[in-house]
């Protein structure tokens, strides 16, 4: 779909596969869109024929390209602006401490399906169905001592009940690890205390794997490159354990899992070492990836866009998304991304000349 306005073209459900330049000005004047399934197919076919990593050999089997060959393919993309796109990758990663609660307490599923709760939601918009996916408490905490006037947390704890599919399928655990830790508790009410770093010091990368715009990129989150990041998550896990073992939690029957993560058996009596060991096998993304088109002073060689979100060295092209954030916010990223978009809309309105329509006033 595209809008009919002359000043603004909005295009949705289209994949941008190329930016064209005009003469020597490198103005991003046209984007190539795949507007039909036919085009998608022909574009994919063309890329396959011209050297994507999915290229086939004569025998019909997929041809595996070496890193050197892949680099040669990527080098075929002409460089218009030499910018550090894909550097400065940051994300909120986490690890967890699982526990069970009193089986008499209704599970999330039971509460969601309870007719009284459904009625309460319909009439008052309150009750369990109004909860934020049952993430019932969040704690912003500090691993280090801070001055009394400093309010800058460095880890976040979430408490939420999980169906077994979350650790089994979404956490990326090896099946044998999942079985060893979660197996005996599959029929219990499982709750996770998740410890998430807020201001990671590690930086990862996002790189192209081929010239094919339909190929997924190679993301190297590089979690824990800086050992301090792991320490902060471990501090959070220790706080989880203290909370789980606290008196108020005992009242709801909270009990930490008795199962031990495979490979971490020698450390069970030392929380620092045991949780450190767990983070080596069980680390999750909270999906707050940012930073790969860093905004900032255009003279700074680590920036990709200037404070008006313009891509350096290319006219008519702005980046408006989470990638421009120079550092990841100490919280969720959706609302900050919407704020980036709101600000961008204001910037663009200030810089374009809109015709004056008398009949509107
Ligand atoms: C599973 C999950 C759960 C999350 N939960 C939360 C949460 O609870 N709270 C929170 O605050 N944040 C959450 N986030 C993070 C939040 O969704 C992101 O920070 C936010 O959506 C980032 O916005 P964005 O515009 O940068 O990217 P996106 O929202 O990813 O938008 C990018 C868009 O660009 C399109 N696109 C990509 N390439 C092309 C191309 N070549 N041509 C045309 N279009 C293209 C994509 O289809 C997509 O629509 C979650 C993220 C995930 C993945």
Mark whether 92 is an active-site residue. Answer: no
**DSSP, residue by residue, 172-195:** ---HHHHHHHHGGGTTS-EEEEEE
Q: pLDDT tens-digit profile of 18-64?
A: 766 665 555 554 455 544 333 333 333 333 333 333 333 344 444 45
**Is the CB of 75 within 6 Å of ligand 1?**
no
Q: pLDDT tens digits for 61-119? A: 444 556 666 566 566 777 788 899 999 999 999 999 999 999 999 888 898 899 999 99
CA distance 271 to 233: 12
Spans in the chain with pLDDT lower than 50: 29-30, 34-63
Atom of ligand 1 nearest to the CA of 17: 41
Q: Which atom of ligand 1 is nearest to the CA of 341?
A: 25
Q: For residue 288, how far is its CA from the centre of ligand 1 (angstroms)?
A: 9
Listed residue (326, 81, 331) closest to 203, CA to CA: 326
CA 321 to ligand 1: nearest atom: 26
Q: What is the pLDDT of residue 31?
A: 52
- Give the model's pLDDT for residue 22: 60
The answer for residues whose C-beta is within 8 angstroms of residue 317's C-beta and 6 or more apart is 19, 28, 310, 311
Cβ of 287 less than 6 Å from ligand 1 = yes
Mutate to test the pocket of ligand 1, among 211, 325, 333 (most ligand atoms within 8 A of CB): 333
**Is the minimum distance from the CB of 285 to ligand 1 under 6 angstroms?**
no
Spell out the residues 6+ positions from residue 132 whose beta carbon is closer than 8 angstroms to its own.
none
pLDDT of 168 reads 84
Say yes or no: CB of residue 322 within 6 Å of ligand 1.
Answer: yes
Nearest CA to ligand 1 atom 13: 334
230, 288, 294, 310: the catalytic one is 288
Nearest atom in ligand 1 to the alpha carbon of residue 133 is 8
Would you say the CB of residue 215 lies under 6 angstroms from ligand 1? no
What contacts 88, CB < 8 A, 6 or more positions away? 203, 291, 292, 294, 302, 326
Predicted pLDDT of residue 182: 93
How close is the Cα of 282 to the center of ligand 1, in Å? 24
* pTM for this predicted structure: 0.83
What pLDDT does 37 receive? 35
Testing ligand 1's pocket by substitution, the residue of 322, 325, 339 carrying the most ligand atoms inside 8 A of its CB is 322
Judge residue 298's burial from the number of C-beta atoms within 10 Å of its C-beta, 0-12 exposed, 13-18 middle, 19 or more buried: middle
């Amino acid at each position: 779909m595209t809008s009919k306005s002359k000043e603004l073209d909005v295009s949705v459900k289209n994949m941008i596969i190329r930016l064209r330049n005009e003469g020597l000005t490198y103005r991003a004047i046209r984007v190539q869109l795949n507007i039909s399934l036919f085009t998608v197919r022909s574009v994919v076919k063309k890329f396959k024929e011209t050297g994507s990593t999915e290229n086939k050999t004569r025998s019909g089997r997929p041809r595996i390209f070496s890193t050197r060959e892949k680099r040669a393919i990527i080098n075929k993309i002409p460089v218009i602006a030499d910018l550090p796109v894909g550097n400065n990758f940051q994300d909120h990663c986490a690890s967890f401490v699982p526990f069970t609660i009193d089986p008499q307490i209704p599970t999330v599923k039971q509460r969601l399906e309870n007719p009284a709760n459904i009625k309460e939601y319909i009439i008052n918009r309150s009750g369990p169905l109004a909860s934020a996916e049952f993430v019932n408490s969040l704690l912003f905490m500090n691993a280090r001592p801070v001055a009394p006037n400093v309010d800058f947390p460095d880890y976040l704890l979430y408490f939420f009940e999980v169906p077994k599919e979350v650790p089994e399928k979404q956490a990326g655990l090896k099946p044998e690890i999942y079985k060893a830790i979660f197996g005996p508790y599959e029929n219990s009410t499982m709750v996770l205390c998740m410890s998430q770093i807020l201001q990671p010091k590690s930086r990862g990368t996002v790189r192209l794997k081929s010239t094919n715009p339909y190929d997924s990129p190679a993301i190297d989150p590089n979690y824990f490159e800086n050992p301090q990041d792991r320490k902060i998550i471990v501090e959070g896990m220790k706080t989880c354990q203290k909370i789980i073992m606290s008196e108020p939690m005992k009242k709801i029957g909270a009990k930490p899992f008795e199962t031990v993560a495979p490979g971490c058996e020698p450390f069970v009596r030392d929380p620092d070492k045991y949780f450190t060991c767990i983070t080596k096998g069980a680390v999750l993304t909270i999906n707050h990836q940012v930073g790969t088109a860093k905004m900032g002073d255009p003279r700074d060689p680590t920036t990709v866009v200037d404070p008006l979100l313009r891509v350096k060295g290319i006219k008519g092209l702005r980046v408006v998304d989470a990638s421009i954030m120079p550092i990841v916010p100490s919280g969720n990223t959706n609302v900050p991304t919407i704020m980036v978009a709101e600000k961008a809309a204001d910037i663009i309105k200030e810089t374009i000349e809109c015709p004056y329509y008398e009949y509107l006033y």
